[in-house]
């Protein structure tokens, strides 16, 4: 499904794009700012990261401060990636939630 957003077949509220990454606002935000950072290459989840594709993780974390600045997150933010059933991953294309815009909970699970 995120492949269709990347290809432009499904619209999104774009925040950032480069040749490796697309970031857009989550359709069901769980914080005042909730954006998804999505590598364009299709990898099912972070469980599929290996030596052939690990560069996309660095690309995501290099884009994150640019995105955070664009979204006015001067006080910090959190990046989360859900993996598999227990991790509550609903979309099987690797993505990183960038959430912020308020003091976040100290708990993570
Ligand atoms: P996850 O549960 O970690 O797989 O996260 C998937 C996220 O994608 C959820 O937070 C959804 O709200 C979000 N989502 C699903 N479809 C869309 C869409 N078309 N545009 C933006 N966000 C979406």
Q: Measured in angstroms, how far is the CA atom of residue 28 from the centroid of ligand 1? A: 7
- Grouping H, G, I as helix, E, B as strand and the rest as coil, residue 45 is coil
Q: How confident is the prediction for the chain on average, in pLDDT?
A: 97
For residue 26, the CA-to-ligand 1 centroid distance in Å is 6
Give, for ligand 1, the residue of 26, 47, 87 to mutate: max count of ligand atoms closer than 8 Å to Cβ: 26
Q: What percent of the chain has pLDDT over 70?
A: 100
Give residue-wise pLDDT tens across range 14-45: 999 999 999 999 999 999 999 999 999 999 99
pTM of the model: 0.98
Is 34 known to be catalytic?
no
Confidence of residue 79 (pLDDT cuts 50, 70, 90): very high
The kind and range of the H/E element at 96 are: strand 96-100
Q: Is the pLDDT of residue 1 over 90?
A: no
Query: C-alpha angle with apex 10: 9 to 12, nearest 5 degrees?
Result: 130
Asked whether 98 and 30 are in contact (CB, 8 A), the reply is no
């Amino acid at each position: 499904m995120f492949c269709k957003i990347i290809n432009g077949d499904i619209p999104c509220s774009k925040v950032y794009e480069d040749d490796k990454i697309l970031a857009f606002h989550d359709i069901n935000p769980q914080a005042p700012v909730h954006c998804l950072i999505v590598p364009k290459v299709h990898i099912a989840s972070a469980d599929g990261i290996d030596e052939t594709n690990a560069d996309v993780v660095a690309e995501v974390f290099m884009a994150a401060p640019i995105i955070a600045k664009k979204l006015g997150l001067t006080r910090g933010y959190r990046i989360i990636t859900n993996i598999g059933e227990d991790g509550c991953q609903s979309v099987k294309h690797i993505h990183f939630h960038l959430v912020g815009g308020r003091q976040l909970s100290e708990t993570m699970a």
